[in-house]
Structure 1
Amino acid sequence: MSGRHSESSPLINLPSVVASKILSYLPWQEKTIVASVIPSWTEALRCTEAWSCVNYGPEIDDNVYFVTAGRADFVTCVKQYGNFMRSIHLCFGHIIAHPMEPTGEQILMLIHKRCGNLTALHVEQEVPEGSHTVLSYHWPSSAGVLINSMAVEFKSLKLISLSQPVIVWNQEDKENILLILTCSSAASKITELELTYLSLINQEGKLQLLKNFTGLRKLTVRREKVNNDILLHLVKHSLKELILYQEEELPYKDQQDLGENFWLEVKKVCPTFRVDLILRYVMILKILFPSSMPLRNLVLDFLVNVMTKGIMDHISDCYKDTLQRFTYTNSFLENEEMGDSRVPASLISLAQKCSHLETLEYGFPLSSSSIFLIAQSRKLKNLVVPSVEVSYVNEISTDISGSKAEEYINFINDAENSRKTLETAVSHILGYHWTLHDGPLKVNERIKF
């Protein structure tokens, strides 16, 4: 779009309420550009409908010079329209206290000053992979003070989300932003908290301070930092979603927590409670999967031992009514781990049993006929299999009958059973264009569900 819009264009005569609705779908950078091209829309920007959600960032892949310019533009936007903004999502990829102008702190200060009608605020920190200066990304106490002030002063602010705040736990209490927030009524307004490894450097013991965050609805945390007492306390207040990372073996005493009876109690308090579980670098055993756990998403990556048919069947039986995503891969090795040869059959069974399954990712050897049967079993939204792991072999299954059996037999008897044949057949079954995944199946360090 260039220049001012033609005087004869019907766009210039749209009612302000309609223009505001259209503007609400545009990124903040484009809203003011559109208004400069269509001057009659300027007034449409001066209402909350046009600014229902504002996303700044991510910055992590941008050069520092572009970030500086982007932050300056965002500051100008907030100065002009901050009073109309209802939801702001900030995703910093550079140090919040970085000397670039404006700093992340200055952006928070401006939001505190100009955005008094906010209903939701999300502040997220990303850190470059492999960074050797992680602790320099820590959130200063001033950031905690500003978030605390907004939580207390903004009467309409109901949702506050903090993702991966980098905290140095050997600092004095006055420098720990979580402790700053727990010492105020602001703690009850924090509705989502993501505490990754970078959030917990040098933190020792259980995170008892989590009990102060009685407004939490969603919590992401490392498994060793919580126990029955902490979690049940939060569930009895408002916690409804839990994302647990386990990346180290637990002492025997800690293994007894979050067992069968605990999850039965949780479901009594909150019948709709859901758990996402990410397991890495650990030995996989049945004890990790209590049958009463309301498991929604399961990610298994770089395990110490390999999956067995017994454990796979256990997962299928326990979570057939709740499981929506199943991921099993090895992000660090390729073509080196075969494991139990019966697992592919159990994978098909998992797809058949789990009625809510939407995503299946599998990074180990799998035949084309198994993939075909998985597609037949469930209308998956996402089916991810690396092309290097697929073998094109003919296998007859006795587990299907009727028209599906005929379709399966026609597929395995195809004289050109190849990648193209497989992708065409699976695309037809799933109802969208489907292809094998080129390259190894990698699982991100931070998983967004």
Structure 2
Amino acid sequence: MSHQQLKGCSPLITLPSVVVSKILSYLTWHEKLATANAIGINGMWAEALRSTEAWNFVRYGPELEENIYFAEASRKNFAACVKQYGNFMRSVCLTFGYSIANSSSGFSIDNTGEHILKLLQKRCTNLATLLIEQEIPEGCHDVLSYYWPTLVGIVLDHIAVHCKSLKSISLYQPVINWSSDDIFIFSTNNPVAMKVTELELTFMSLLNHDGKLHLLKNLRGLKKLTIRREKVNNEILLHLVRNSLQELTLYQEEELPYEDQKDLGEDFWAEVIKICPKFKTDLILRCVVVLKTLFPPNMPLRNLVLDFLANVMTKGIVDHISDCYKDTLQRFTYTNSFLENQEMGDTRLPTALISLAQKCSKLETIEYGFPLSSSSILLIAQSRKLKNLVVPSVEVTYENDLCMDNSTPNKEEYNNFLKLAGSNKKNLESTVSHILGYQWTLLDGPLKVNERIKF
């Protein structure tokens, strides 16, 4: 819309400034700049653009959604946006899909992630929260080119010092050169180390790092941590919990040495809950042998993801999970992202899944990527008002394979209901939709779990 067209829309011109600022707050930074170009530098809308309400939250990226040839132009345009409106930005989220430095992506020095961060330091004087995420293209063979240079840490330190309103820095998948003498965010008493509240360290973040990550203890304000299981122990985690840690996501994708298996047991979790009663834990297990010992009592388990396991789950393990986490579990995912049409192994597993839905009072999501009968799906849906029930259509058999207990009221009538409602896909989807209270359908295709899970 041109300036003249906007002037012709008298209702838009006469809106109160508080309403205009609210409208602008819902626009992306691209759309805000387009609006600024359309209206010129004067008038109510131009005035509203120069307010913290209009720029309360700004998201740049994800860059991987666009071609690298357009990404440099996006960085240039966003840098111009920060120069003009940075003083009004309160919360900024940056998701880089290409190197944050200038050495590998071919970007000019004025269009690097480093340059954008320097502009945040100089222009965003009212910044309260900052989130920086590094994405890496699937199949990338040159991860080293994604290393965050020491200069990034220096700039972040400057941001932490000069942005007086800054309360929180979140770092997702920083690619760190652990051989460097200066591991920027972990240096003792660094200004940025005091402001990091969320940290996600994936496999890519921990390349070439050996042993336990004791440097985590320098992050005194850390509230949320995502990390590989083998990098932490009782000492490290208790230190973090005593400071401020409230949420922990653990990835385990390899078997632990025997001495490490003793950590994070029942007594440890009892101590954690004593220190922080509202503590939450998420657990993602891949490529490991699943035993009951991986699920100790007292662990405040919120989300459990089991993918591509080295063995099959059994009814006994699922029942153990139900008993231990009946008051905390919100999500249960069990699948194999790499293979389709897998046998479930223990034929009693659907019964255990129904029991899980019945026992776990906070359960909101069940994702199950193995064979399941229509009658089992119906009983799961009746057991709990789930927000998400995900089952691939290819895994469903349309049969009533469950034997009702003799104490079941109107046993014959109920069996007839299961038989009719689960006789075909249309009837199943319609009945489950009615039970759950929203339009429910079977998943078209296999159940895949993303490598990086955001809870």
> For the superposition of Structure 1 and Structure 2, which TM-score range results when normalised by the shorter chain?
over 0.9
Aligned to 1:166: 175
Q: Equivalent residue for 1:328?
A: 334
Identify the match of residue 437 of structure 1 among 437, 443, 446. Answer: 443
What pairs up with 1:406-417 in 2 under 5 angstroms?
A: 409-413=416-420, 417=423
What does residue 337 of structure 1 align with?
343
Match of 2:8 in 1: 7
Asked if 1:157 is matched to 2:166, the reply is yes
Shift of 1:396: 4.3
Check whether the contact 2:376–2:402 (CA below 8 A) recurs between aligned residues: no
Residues 115, 411 of structure 1: alpha-carbon distance in 2 compared, 3 angstrom cutoff = same
Matched, 1:112 2:121: yes
Distance 1:86 1:406 in 2: 60
CA RMSD in angstroms comes to 1.8
Structure 1 distance, partners of 2:318, 2:18, is 54
Range with greater deviation from structure 2 (198-207 or 95-104) = 95-104
Alignment-derived partner of residue 136 in structure 2: 127
Secondary structure at the residue paired with 2:64?
Answer: coil
Q: Hey, what does 1:41 align to over in structure 2?
A: 45
Letter in 1 for 2:184: I
- One-letter amino acid of the structure 2 residue matched with residue 33 of structure 1: A
Corresponding residue of 1:288: 294
In structure 2, the residue matched to 1:351 is: 357
Do the aligned partners of residues 214 and 404 (structure 1) sit closer, same or farther apart at CA in structure 2, a change above 3 Å counting? farther
**Match for residue 216 of structure 1?**
222
1:198 paired with 2:198, answer no
Q: CA deviation at 1:167?
A: 1.1
Instruction: State the secondary structure of the residue aligned to 1:199.
Output: coil
Hey, what does 2:24 align to over in structure 1?
Answer: 23
The alpha-carbon deviation at position 402 of structure 1 amounts to 5.7
Contact 1:165 1:195 in 2 (8 A): yes
Would you say the 8 A contact 1:326–1:361 is kept in 2?
Answer: yes
Query: How far 1:70 moved relative to its partner?
Result: 1.2
Distance 1:292 1:409 in 2: 42
Aligned to 1:257: 263
Does residue 80 (structure 1) correspond to residue 84 (structure 2)? The answer is yes
Other structure's SS at 1:311 match: helix
TM-score (norm 1): 0.95
Cα shift at 1:403: 8.9
SS at match of 2:238: helix
Bigger drift between 391-400 and 77-86 goes to 391-400
Matched letter for residue 44 of structure 1:
A
2:184 match: 177
**Larger CA deviation: 110-119 vs 83-92:** 110-119
Q: Secondary structure of 1:51's match? A: coil
- 1:71 is paired with a residue whose SS is helix
Candidates 70, 87, 97, aligned match of 1:66: 70
Counterpart of 1:276 in 2: which secondary structure?
A: strand
Q: In the alignment, residue 386 of structure 1 is paired with which amino acid?
A: P
Contact 2:127 2:165 in 1 (8 A): yes
**2:404, 2:411 within 8 Å by CA — same for their partners in 1?**
no
Say if 2:59 is the partner of 1:55.
yes
Q: Percent identity?
A: 66
SS at match of 2:6: coil
- The answer to whether the 8 A contact 2:266-2:299 is kept is yes
> Does structure 2 retain, via aligned residues, the 8 Å contact 1:373–1:408?
no
| Whole-Å separation in 2 of the counterparts to 1:409 and 1:266 | 49
Aligned residue type for 1:12? I
Per-residue Cα deviation, 1:286-313 (whole angstroms, up to 9, x for no partner): 0100110000000000111100000000
Cα 1:142–1:405 shift into 2, 3 Å: farther
User: 8 Å contact 1:348–1:377 — kept in the other structure?
Assistant: yes
* 328-337 or 256-265, larger mean C-alpha shift: 328-337
Aligned pairs for 1:419-434 within 5 A: 419-434=425-440
Is the CA contact 1:215–1:238 (under 8 Å) kept in the aligned structure 2? yes
Give the aligned residue type for 1:19: V
Distance 2:143 2:317 in 1: 37
Residues 53, 397 of structure 1: alpha-carbon distance in 2 compared, 3 angstrom cutoff: farther
Count of residue pairs the alignment pairs up: 445
Task: Decide which of 399, 422, 428 is 1:393's aligned counterpart.
Answer: 399
Select the residue among 139, 143, 146 that pairs with 1:137: 146
Deviations 1:162-198 (A, max 9, x none): 000001222x313x3334x445132121100100111
SS in 2 for 1:297: strand
Name the CA distance, whole Å, in 2 between partners of 1:335 and 1:395: 19
Deviation at 1:405, TM superposition (A): 8.9
Q: Tell me which amino acid in the other structure corresponds to 2:121.
A: H
Contact 1:140 1:177 in 2 (8 A): no
What is the deviation of 1:397? 4.3
Deviations 1:263-318 (A, max 9, x none): 00000000000000000010000010011000000000011110000000000111
Question: Are 1:302 and 2:303 counterparts?
Answer: no
Which residue number corresponds to residue 322 of structure 2? 316
How far is 1:29 from its partner? 1.1
Match of 2:33 in 1: 32
Cα contact 2:342–2:371 (8 A) shared by 1: no
1:65 and 1:48 mapped to 2: Cα distance?
32
